[in-house]
C-alpha cells in the first residue's frame, strides 16, 4: 500500500523550515497521464510545473466533476499526523495521486476553472465551505466544476488540527453526495507566511468590529427610544445633584498635576542648594603685577 504523504515527509526532514512553500495535490478516479505517473511524489517543485500537470490531466476530460480546493495557510507538517486529513490520505494511498509537498509559488484556481470549462464544456456549482452548505448536484451530460474555498487554518495547534479535520470531513461528505463516481480533485494551498493571509485576517477583524459597533449602536438607539422623558418635577436638587464634577478623568488629571508640582519643587530646591564660590574665578593680580616685584 502506498503512503505518499508519509514518504514525502520522510524524504524532506528540513522542509518545516521553509515557510514560503505549500503542498499541492492532484487526485483522479481515472488513470493519470503517463508523464504524471513517472514523478508522482515530489518533495520540491514549482507551482507552474504543477499547473502543467493539472492541465495535462484535465485535458483528457475523463471526469464528470472537478473539485478545486483552496486551503490557505497549510503546511507539509500539517499532514504528518496520521489522523489528519483522512480523506486526502486515502487519496495518497492509490496510484492516481500526485503531490508536491513543498511547492514554491501559487496556483490560481480561476485559471484552472477556465481551463476546465473550455476543454470539457463544464459548468460551475456553487459551494459555500464557510457554512458547510452546498446546492444539490444536477445529473446532466456536462461536467461540473466544484470550487471549495476553505478558511485560513488557525495558528494554535489544537484549533488548527480541528479546523484541518473539519475541512477534510466536509470534502468527504461532498464526495459522498455527488451523483458521479468519476471525479478529479485539485488541492492547492498558500504558504503559512503569506502576507496576504494577514491582510485577510485583518479585514475579517475590521468587519467583525464594524458589525459589532453597528449592532451596539442599534441597541443603544432602541434603548434610548424606549425610555420616556422625565418630568421637570423629578429634577430635584438643581445642577449639583444631577451632574458629577469629579469624573475619573478629572481625578487623574489632578493627581498628575500634583505629582508634576512635587517633582518641580524638588528640582527647584536642588538648584537653590547649589553654592558656587566665585573667589575661585578671580585672577591673582598680586603675583602677576610687575610693579610689586621691584
Residues 212-258 pLDDT 10s: 444 444 444 444 444 444 444 444 444 434 445 556 667 788 888 99
- Residue 74 is assigned to a structural domain of this protein: yes
- Residue 201 is assigned to a structural domain of this protein: no
- Residue 237 is assigned to a structural domain of this protein: no
- Residue 21 is assigned to a structural domain of this protein: yes
Is the pTM above the cut of 0.75? Answer: no
The domain containing residue 128 runs over which residues? 4-195
Number of independent structural domains in the chain: 1
Cβ–Cβ contacts within 10 Å for residue 5, how many?
25
Residue with cell 508536491: 100
pLDDT tens digits, 139-148 = 666 889 999 9
- Residue 142 is assigned to a structural domain of this protein: yes
- Residue 246 is assigned to a structural domain of this protein: no
Choose among 179, 169, 184: nearest CA to 135: 179
Q: Put residue 61 in one of left, alpha, beta given phi > 0 → left and psi -120 to 50 → alpha.
A: left
- Residue 288 is assigned to a structural domain of this protein: no
Residues 146 and 150: their CA atoms lie apart, in Å, by 13
Cβ–Cβ contacts within 10 Å for residue 26, how many?
23
Amino acid at each position: 500500500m502506498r503512503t505518499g504523504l508519509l514518504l514525502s515527509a520522510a524524504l524532506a526532514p528540513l522542509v518545516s523550515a521553509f515557510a514560503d512553500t505549500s503542498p499541492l495535490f492532484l487526485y483522479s478516479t481515472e488513470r493519470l497521464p503517463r508523464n504524471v505517473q513517472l514523478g508522482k511524489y515530489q518533495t520540491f517543485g514549482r507551482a507552474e510545473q504543477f499547473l502543467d500537470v493539472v492541465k495535462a490531466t484535465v485535458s483528457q476530460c475523463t471526469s464528470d466533476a472537478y473539485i478545486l480546493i483552496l486551503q490557505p495557510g497549510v503546511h507539509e507538517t500539517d499532514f504528518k499526523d496520521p489522523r489528519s486529513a483522512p480523506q486526502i490520505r486515502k487519496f495518497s494511498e492509490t496510484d492516481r495521486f500526485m503531490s508536491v509537498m513543498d511547492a514554491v509559488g501559487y496556483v490560481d484556481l480561476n485559471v484552472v476553472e477556465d481551463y476546465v470549462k473550455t476543454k470539457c464544456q463544464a459548468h460551475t456549482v456553487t459551494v459555500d465551505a464557510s457554512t458547510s452548505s452546498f446546492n444539490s448536484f444536477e445529473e446532466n451530460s456536462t461536467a461540473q466544476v466544484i470550487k471549495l474555498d476553505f478558511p485560513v487554518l488557525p495558528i494554535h495547534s489544537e484549533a488548527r488540527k480541528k479546523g484541518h479535520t473539519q475541512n477534510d470531513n466536509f470534502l468527504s461528505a461532498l464526495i459522498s453526495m455527488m451523483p458521479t463516481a468519476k471525479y478529479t480533485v485539485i488541492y492547492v494551498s498558500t504558504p503559512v507566511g503569506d502576507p496576504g493571509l494577514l491582510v485577510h485576517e485583518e479585514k475579517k477583524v475590521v468587519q467583525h468590529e464594524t458589525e459589532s459597533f453597528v449592532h451596539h449602536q442599534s441597541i443603544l438607539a432602541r434603548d434610548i427610544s424606549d425610555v420616556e422623558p422625565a418630568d421637570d418635577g423629578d429634577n430635584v436638587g438643581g445642577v449639583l445633584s444631577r451632574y458629577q464634577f469629579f469624573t475619573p478623568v478629572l481625578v487623574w488629571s489632578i493627581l498628575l498635576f500634583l505629582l508634576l508640582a512635587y517633582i518641580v519643587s524638588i528640582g527647584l530646591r536642588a538648584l537653590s542648594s547649589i553654592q558656587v564660590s566665585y573667589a575661585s574665578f578671580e585672577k591673582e593680580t598680586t603675583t602677576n603685577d610687575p610693579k610689586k616685584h621691584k
